[in-house]
Amino acid sequence: MQLFKSQVVRVTNSLSGKKEVFNPIKAGYIGMYVCGPTVYSNVHLGNCRTFMSFDMIYRYFKHLGFKVRYVRNITDAGHLENDADEGEDKIAKKAKLEQIEPMEVVQRYTVDFHNTLQQFNFLPPSIEPTATGHIIEQIEIIKDILAKGFAYEVNGSVYFDVVKFNETNEYGKLSGRKLEDMIANTRALAAQDEKKNPQDFALWKKAEPQHIMRWPSPWGDGFPGWHLECTAMSTKYLGETFDIHGGGMDLKFPHHECEIAQAEASNQKSPVNYWLHANMLTLNGKKMSKSTGNNLYPSEIFSGDNNLLSKPYSPAVVRFFMLQAHYTSILDLSDDALLASEKGYSRLMEALGNLESLVATKKGEFDIEAWRNNCYKAMNDDFNTPILISHLFEAVKHINLIKENKERISESDKELLQKTIHEFIFDVLGIENQSAMEGDSNTLSGVVELLIELRNSARINKDFATSDKIRDELIALGIQLKDGKEGTTFSIN
């Protein structure tokens, strides 16, 4: 199945600021790089949103039949804390704080990262390279940039010469900045700085004697700079120019801008055709952030152990909630919004169950082909999952009508509907049916069936006190009975 031959996908390219038709370099193949996490603390929900956006994009491309190589790195060498603290990196700082090895910190939070993403039903990337595993590649790139005259060495550190680069290239084209403006707005400080200009950034930093994470290099012992690892790993696994580079909006400047500069300095060509940026998840109207403490961990949502939400929410509900907003829009998390999503999610899953038992008769009024095309149209338009979901609810409405014999469906239409709805919900959106996973297989459903029988006989005998007691006690336990034309069913919340 090579759906991509008939489906034209348009994406918002940050480089042009416009929606563009997506054309891969090699037909049928896609190279996609996404900036992964820095593993010095637990991933928070905001991080998850970005990775979820690209998980969805990865899933859709795969669904269309593309062969996708999806590379998402693990930053375990640590970015610099700031210019003032003598280049101590984050991993090392945390390690000292907790009196353990840096790689132990990395291991702990890498495991947490993977566990969390698994709960959200993320597909693993094709390659998940680490920064520490690519020190040699990074050193090679630095040598190359030095040789080409776009970097300079000072006291065992190497800096990228932004001003020099800007003479022949355009520094700031991704984020819409002009170097002259940036220089004009620079605060006059950092007197002891080794850099020629404040805009210059480190490719290699000399390690102070107490610095734990260090590697030998032509410039002495040290560690790689902020932005180099992504250039090294994306080039190694995807080539000098590849299709898609993704990441959070907050990485646009300076991180991605620097990646472009590094790659152009060493290869003389633009590294990426389509830059995609996922927008922020906010909490109380403010960006979630590790440094400010305005954040929520996934585990706190799943357990309900937090001060912000009235109840726990499952990973599938949170995923559904996030996909109800477009990935380029800011999304604000609140209890009301999650509550609404949870109900919508349940209704969707309920309909999915009803679909299986639908009796096919003859051609009905629901045009499945047209509906299916609309689903693709929504996804082709810059992965518009909110619109896709609105179409899914359109189908829900028809499923329920058919169930109540108010509409008909033919056998072939039913099969197409089932196939399509499963593909979009499970394969593309990656939403799991949690109630189906928990219920059914155990003894609970048998017990509920028994109670339904008892209640029905009570109702026949007009013993409503008993029948209502059964119904009300069950609802108190989170089991809802649903009286329909074909008998009584139930759902477990």
Partner RNA sequence: GGCAUCGUGGCCGAGUGGCUAGGCACAGCUCUGCAAAAGCUUGUACAGCGGUUCGAAUCCGCUCGAUGCCUCCA
Residue ranges in 67-96 that form contacts with RNA under rule CB under 7 A = 75, 79-83, 90
Minimum distance of RNA from residue 64's CB (angstroms): 20
DSSP states of 6-59 as a string? Answer: T---EEEETTTTEEEE---SSTTEEEEEE---BTTS---HHHHHHHHHHHHHHH
Which 430-469 residues touch RNA, going by CB under 7 A?
459, 464, 467-468
Q: By rule CB under 7 A, what string of x and - marks binding of each residue 400-429 to RNA?
A: xx-xx-x-----------------------
Q: Interface with RNA includes 483 (CB under 7 A)?
A: yes
Minimum distance of RNA from residue 398's CB (angstroms): 8
Closer CB to RNA, residue 5 or residue 96? 96
User: Pick from 168, 172, 173: which is nearest to 184 by CA?
Assistant: 172
CA separation for the pair 393, 463 (Å, rounded): 38
Q: Interface with RNA includes 13 (CB under 7 A)?
A: no
Per the CB < 8 A criterion, the answer to whether 200 and 209 are in contact is no
CA separation for the pair 374, 75 (Å, rounded): 39
- Of these, 62, 108, 114, 287, which contacts RNA (CB under 7 A)? 287
The token pair that represents 189 in the structure block: 């400080």
Which 51-70 residues touch RNA, going by CB under 7 A?
51
Which 140-199 residues touch RNA, going by CB under 7 A?
175-177, 181-182, 185, 198
Minimum distance of RNA from residue 488's CB (angstroms): 8
Minimum distance of RNA from residue 275's CB (angstroms): 12
Minimum distance of RNA from residue 397's CB (angstroms): 4
Q: By rule CB under 7 A, what string of x and - marks binding of each residue 355-394 to RNA?
A: --------------------------xx-x-xx-xx--xx
The token pair that represents 251 in the structure block: 């990485």
CA separation for the pair 62, 399 (Å, rounded): 28
Q: Which stretch binds RNA (CB under 7 A): 93-101, 103-111, 361-369, 480-488?
A: 480-488
CA separation for the pair 341, 309 (Å, rounded): 14
Q: Interface with RNA includes 308 (CB under 7 A)?
A: no
Q: Which long-range contacts (CB under 8 A, 24 or more apart) does 27-30 make?
A: 28/2, 28/4, 28/65, 28/66, 28/67, 29/66, 29/67, 29/68, 29/69, 30/61, 30/66, 30/67, 30/68, 30/69, 30/243, 30/244
Query: Cis link prior to 254 (omega < 30° from 0)?
Result: yes
Q: Interface with RNA includes 105 (CB under 7 A)?
A: no
Minimum distance of RNA from residue 480's CB (angstroms): 5
Q: What is the largest CA-CA distance in the chain?
A: 93
Which 231-250 residues touch RNA, going by CB under 7 A?
247-250
Closer CB to RNA, residue 81 or residue 144? 81
CA separation for the pair 278, 247 (Å, rounded): 6
Minimum distance of RNA from residue 202's CB (angstroms): 9
CA separation for the pair 182, 162 (Å, rounded): 11
Minimum distance of RNA from residue 77's CB (angstroms): 11
Which 264-283 residues touch RNA, going by CB under 7 A?
278, 280-282
Q: Interface with RNA includes 14 (CB under 7 A)?
A: no
Q: What are phi and psi of 394, to 5 degrees?
A: -60, -45
Q: Interface with RNA includes 116 (CB under 7 A)?
A: no
Q: Which residues contact 142 (CB under 8 A, 6 or more apart)?
A: 151, 158, 203, 204, 217, 224, 228
Task: Say how many residues touch RNA, by CB under 7 A.
Answer: 90
CA separation for the pair 33, 133 (Å, rounded): 17
Which 323-352 residues touch RNA, going by CB under 7 A?
324-326, 329-332, 334, 336-337, 339-341, 343-344, 347, 350
Q: Interface with RNA includes 314 (CB under 7 A)?
A: no
Q: Which residues contact 157 (CB under 8 A, 6 or more apart)?
A: 87, 194, 202, 204, 205, 206, 219, 222
Minimum distance of RNA from residue 26's CB (angstroms): 27
Q: By rule CB under 7 A, what string of x and - marks binding of each residue 19-38 to RNA?
A: ----------------xxxx
